[in-house]
């Protein structure tokens, strides 16, 4: 494997950890922000952050297991079209969603972010569904499907908890 192939292989693994590291880092940086409700007394953080942590960990474990699954030469390699679809879901869906959600969370008027968040959510769900129904539905076995469910539903539940924190607290 050449340098570019090695970099691409490990880049996808590194990208799995960016949401967790970024969210945790931003919470530390903004820990005194009044909108976050982080306290030095119990309960220290809102329950939604605990749900985000638990299901984010589940999603990350599913992503790492799926990544490892595809590194085994006995398992099917991911075709370029599938990699591109996943990159579009992450780059055009996940990244803008993270930025919009964070801005809404610390904003005085989070409702001004609601329509953009919903538009990006629709795109992201369509992109993930495309990936699952075009590429995965026919070829994935039970083990790989379990990893995908951990990744998709873990991220979905974490997102719902974050959305609840912003708009329903």
Position 88 scores a pLDDT of 82
Query: DSSP per residue over the chain, as a string?
Result: --HHHHHHHHHHHHHHHHHHHHHHHHHHHTTT-GGG---SSSS-S-HHHHHHHHHHHHHHHHHHHHHHHTTSTTSPPPPHHHHHHHHHHIIIIIHHHHHHHHHHHH-S-GGGGHHHHHHHHHHHHHHHHHIIIIIIHHH--HHHHHHHHHHHHHHHHHHHHHHHHHH--
Position 71 scores a pLDDT of 78
Residue 48's pLDDT band (cuts 50, 70, 90): very high
pLDDT in tens, 110-159: 999 999 999 999 999 999 888 888 887 777 888 988 999 999 999 999 99
Q: What is the pTM of this model?
A: 0.87
More confidently predicted of 7 and 156: 156
């Amino acid at each position: 494997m050449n340098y570019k192939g090695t970099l691409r292989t490990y880049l996808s693994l590194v990208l799995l950890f960016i949401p967790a590291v970024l969210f945790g880092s931003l919470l530390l940086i903004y820990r005194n922000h009044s909108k976050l409700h982080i306290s030095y007394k119990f309960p220290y953080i809102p329950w939604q952050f605990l749900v985000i942590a638990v299901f984010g960990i589940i999603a990350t474990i599913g992503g790492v297991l799926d990544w490892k699954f595809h590194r085994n030469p006995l398992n099917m390699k991911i075709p370029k079209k599938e990699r591109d679809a996943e990159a579009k879901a992450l780059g055009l869906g996940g990244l803008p969603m993270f930025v919009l959600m964070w801005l809404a969370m610390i904003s005085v008027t989070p409702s001004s972010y609601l329509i953009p968040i919903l538009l990006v959510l629709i795109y992201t769900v369509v992109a993930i569904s495309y990936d699952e129904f075009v590429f995965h539905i026919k070829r994935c076995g039970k083990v790989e499907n379990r990893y995908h469910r951990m990744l998709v539903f873990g991220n979905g539940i974490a997102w719902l908890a974050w959305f609840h924190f912003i708009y329903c607290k």
